[in-house]
Amino acid sequence: MARLVEWFRDTAGVYNIKELEKAFTTVAGVNSMQTKDYIQNLVDENHIRCERIGSGNWYWAFASDAKKSKDNVINNLKNEEQTLSTSIGETQAQLDQETALRRGEDEALEAQGTSRDKLLQHHEALTKEHEALDKELATYHDNDPEIYNRKVEEVKRFKSIAEQWTANIDNLETLLLRLANNDRDAVAGLMSRACGDEYIIGEGFRELNP
């Protein structure tokens, strides 16, 4: 690539694509099928210039263009340097201001017989005390009347649902007795297998504790 750029500048000519296909093969051994790719790369990287004249594109690279390009790069770098210098100056000014402000605060705290470190330690101690109080309060959570009443209502609701299902199963047991010609042993065995420990043969379902 560098050899092609040097060739453009040394010859100081203006070429079309056909001329470059021949020249690239001679100068850098570039296959004519790859010429367009090389040209596009040179244009994209601003090594050569391209203008459409008439029905085709023409390419060239003069030494003066290279100098102008370098000058542009240098000017851009100088502008960036100036911007960075300004930013650094502003940041330093803010830092100095914050340092002076903190120094003033530290002096005021010292005059009151305390310091920033002591205040931070006190804040940490208060935070730990607050967390301890939260934990202690949680131990009284179950004794909260509102929570207790809510739990009582939940127990009543669950008991009511259980009693309803017990009544439904009792009705089912009565139906099974009719279907089994009052064979209580057969029905009791079936109910025991279906309901498990909650059903006691000869007694029925366990009582629900309030």
Query: What's the pLDDT score for residue 196?
Result: 66
Query: What's the pLDDT score for residue 188?
Result: 75
Give per-residue pLDDT as tens, 90-148.
877 777 777 777 777 667 767 777 776 776 777 788 788 878 877 776 766 656 667 66
Domain C-terminal end among 139, 160, 193: 139
Query: What's the pLDDT score for residue 86?
Result: 83
Give per-residue pLDDT as tens, 20-69.
888 888 888 888 888 888 889 888 888 888 888 888 899 888 777 666 76
pLDDT category of residue 208 using cuts at 50, 70 and 90: very low
Query: What's the pLDDT score for residue 198?
Result: 65
Query: What's the pLDDT score for residue 210?
Result: 46
- Please tell me the total count of domains within the chain: 3
| Judgement on whether residues 130 and 161 belong to the same structural domain of the protein | no
Residue 57 lies in a domain: yes
The Cα-based distances of 90 to 48, 76, 82, 83 in angstroms read 41, 21, 12, 11
| Judgement on whether residues 200 and 135 belong to the same structural domain of the protein | no
CB 17 within 8 A of CB 33: no
| Judgement on whether residues 96 and 48 belong to the same structural domain of the protein | no
Give per-residue pLDDT as tens, 76-87.
777 888 887 787
Give per-residue pLDDT as tens, 165-192.
677 677 777 777 777 777 777 777 777 7
Domain that holds residue 30: 2-61
By CB atoms closer than 10 A (0-12, 13-18, 19+), residue 93 is exposed
Q: What is the dihedral of CA 121, 123, 128, 134, to 10 degrees?
A: 170
Residue 210 lies in a domain: no
Residue 154 lies in a domain: yes
The pLDDT of residue 74 is above 50: yes
Query: What's the pLDDT score for residue 48?
Result: 81
Query: What's the pLDDT score for residue 179?
Result: 75
Query: What's the pLDDT score for residue 97?
Result: 78
CA angle 27, 30, 34 (to 5 degrees): 140
Residues 6+ apart with CB under 8 A from 47: 1, 5, 8, 61
Q: Domain holding 18: CATH number?
A: 1.10.10.10
